Amino acid sequence: MSNLLTISSAIWLGTGILGTIWGLSQPYPSPNKFYGFGVGAVASAIGTALTYPAMNRSERSIIRQDTADQIFDIGEAAIIERYKQAVFPVPRMPDMNIYNHVLGMMPGQETEDRPPIVAFDSILDRGVGICLFGDSGSGKSSAAKYLIGLASQGSEIKLIVADPHYDGGGDWGNDTLIVDDYEMILKCLRASLDELDRRKVQRKQGVKSFPKLVFIWDEWPSVRVAAKNAKSNICEEAVIRLGSECRKYDMLSIFCSQSGNTKAMGLEGMGDFLQNFSLIRLGKISVKHAKNLPDQRVLNCLQIAGYPCLVDDDLSIHPTHGKYQQFKNGQPPLNLLPVRTVPITLDEILGDKISVDRESEPPKQPPKTATTSPSFDISKLKKTPENNSNPDDKFMQILEFCKGKESVSVRDVQRASVGANLSSDAIKYAFEWLENNGHGTVKTEQIGGSVRVSFVAN
C-alpha cells in the first residue's frame, strides 16, 4: 500500500513540474501561461499531500520488520541457551537452609517447592502450654525429653512425670518424680493448681522469681477418664488454667496423648483459647492432620520423612529423630539436651508426708485399686470390680469383640454387651487407641449426611 502512495505522489509531483515548465514556456500574456502554472500548482500540492502518508506507512513497515527481526533473534538465542543448558547443565547450589539440609526431605526438587520450616526450639516461645500428640514409635517420649532439656537451659527445674502407664522404662533422671497412680495423679493436678494460686499471691507480694516446675501429663485422655469416674472436673480446670496462666509463674505443663483428637484432650470448642497451646503432632497423627491443611506441600514433605513432625500447622523437624530418613523401631534419639533437675518429692507437691521408695519396688502397671474408667461416659456404668479396672482393659475387650469380624462400627459395639453403656466418643477413642497400638485400622466413611466410623482388627 505504501508503494502505491509513493508512486501516486511521484506522478502528481511530476505532473506539477511539467505543468509549471510548460507555463513558463508560453509567451506573456498568453492564457496558456496561467493554465500551465495553475495545473502545476494543483498537481504539486496533491503530490506533496500524498507524500506524508506514504512516508508514515513506509516507516511503520520498517519498524515492524525490525521488531520481527529482533523477536526472531531473541527466539533463536533462547533456543541456543536451552540447548546449552541441556548439553552443559549448570551445577545447582546446595540448599544452605540447615533445617532443609538436615532433613533432606525433598531431594531433586527446588527449594521453592518446600513450605517454610519452623524451628522446633521456638516452641517454648510460641505458647503457654504444650500438647504433644504421637502414636506408638513416633518418638513422642524422646521429643518430651528434648523439651525438658530446652526448659532447663536457663536454670534447674523440678520435674514431675505423671504417667498412669509407667512400667519402669524411660530414663527420666534420678531426681525426677514419677507418679503412676490415677488417684495420685489427680491429687497432683489439684496440687499444681494450688501451687499456681500460691505463686500468684507471692507475685503480688513482690516475689519476682520462683523455682521452675515442669509437669508432663502423659496419657491425658486416660487421666480425664479417671477424673470423670471420680466425678471430678479437675482435668477441665487444669487444662484451662495451666494452659493460660502458668508461664508467667515459671511453670510449664506438657500434655501427651497417643491420639490426635483434641476432643479427647478436652480442647475441642475452645476457640481462641487453643492458641495458648503449641500443638506438636508426630508420626501418623501429623500426616493425618496435614491432609486437611490448605498447603499440600506440607503433606508431601511429611509423607516422605522418616519421622514426620508438625508444630501447630507448620512443618518442623523432629528434634531427636529428624536425621533418620527412614522409620525403624528402636532407633536411638539424637541431639538430646542435658537436663538440669533438682530432687522433688510427693510430700513437697501434695503437702502430705508421703514417700515412695522406687528402688525397692519392681516396675508396675497402673494399680488395680486405682480409680479408673473405660470410657468418657463413665457415669452410666455401675461400680463393679470389672469396671474399676484399667481403661486399657476395656479397650482390649472391644478388640476381642472386633476380632473375627470384617468390620465393626461404633453402633455395633454399643449394641453388644461390651459397649452397651459406652458413649460413641468413648468407642471412637478406643478405636484410635487400638489403631495407634497396632491392633487394627480405623476407617471413616461418608454415608449421606453422616459419618460412619468403623474398626478392622488385624
pLDDT in tens, 193-249: 999 999 999 999 988 888 899 999 998 888 988 888 888 888 888 888 888 888 888
| Residue 262: count of CB within 10 angstroms of its CB | 17
Interior CA angle at 409 toward 403 and 415, to 5°? 90
Give the residues across from 281 on adjacent strands: 133, 310
pLDDT of residue 160: 92
Residue 389 DSSP code: S
pLDDT of residue 358: 36
Please give the torsion angle defined by the CA atoms of residues 219, 221, 223 and 227, in that order, rounded to the nearest 10 degrees: 180
Domain ranges for the chain: 2-87, 100-360, 378-457
Number of helical (H) and strand (E) elements in the chain, helices listed first: 14, 12
Q: How many residues does the chain have?
A: 458
Three-class DSSP category at 187 = helix
Q: Which residues are CB-neighbours of 53 under 8 A, at least 6 positions away?
A: 5
Interior CA angle at 160 toward 159 and 166, to 5°? 125
The residue type at 177:
L
- Tens digit of pLDDT for each residue in 401-437? 998 888 898 888 888 888 777 777 778 878 888 887 8
- Long-range contacts of 402-408, Cβ-Cβ distance < 8 Å, separation of 24 or more: 402/434, 402/440, 402/455, 402/456, 402/457, 403/457, 404/457, 405/457, 406/456, 407/443, 407/454, 407/455, 407/456, 408/454, 408/455, 408/456, 408/457
- Per-residue b/e over 164-173, b at no fewer than 16 CB within 10 Å? bebeeeeebe
C-alpha cell recorded at residue 323: 536425621
Interior CA angle at 140 toward 390 and 128, to 5°? 95
- Long-range contacts of 59-65, Cβ-Cβ distance < 8 Å, separation of 24 or more: 61/2
pLDDT of residue 329: 83
Distance separating alpha carbons of residues 178 and 4, to the nearest angstrom: 103
> Which regions of the chain are under pLDDT 50?
96, 98-99, 101-103, 105-111, 352-389
pLDDT of residue 349: 75
Q: E-strand spans in 334-449?
A: 408-409, 440-447
Residue 90 DSSP code: P
**SS3 track for 195-258:** HHHHHHHHHHCCCCCCCEEEEEECCHHHHHHHHHHCCCCHHHHHHHHCCCCHHHHCEEEEEEEC
Distance separating alpha carbons of residues 382 and 421, to the nearest angstrom: 9
Three-class DSSP category at 155 = coil
Q: Are 247 and 276 in contact (CB under 8 A)?
A: no
Parallel, antiparallel or unpaired: strands 177-179 and 212-217: unpaired
* Domain 378-457 grouped into CATH 1.10.10.10: yes
Residue 263 DSSP code: T
Q: Are 315 and 302 in contact (CB under 8 A)?
A: yes
* Domain 100-360 grouped into CATH 1.10.1740: no
Q: Are 366 and 164 in contact (CB under 8 A)?
A: yes
Distance separating alpha carbons of residues 388 and 368, to the nearest angstrom: 7
Which helix (H) or strand (E) segment holds residue 124: the answer is helix 123-126
Q: Which residue has the cell 509531483?
A: 13
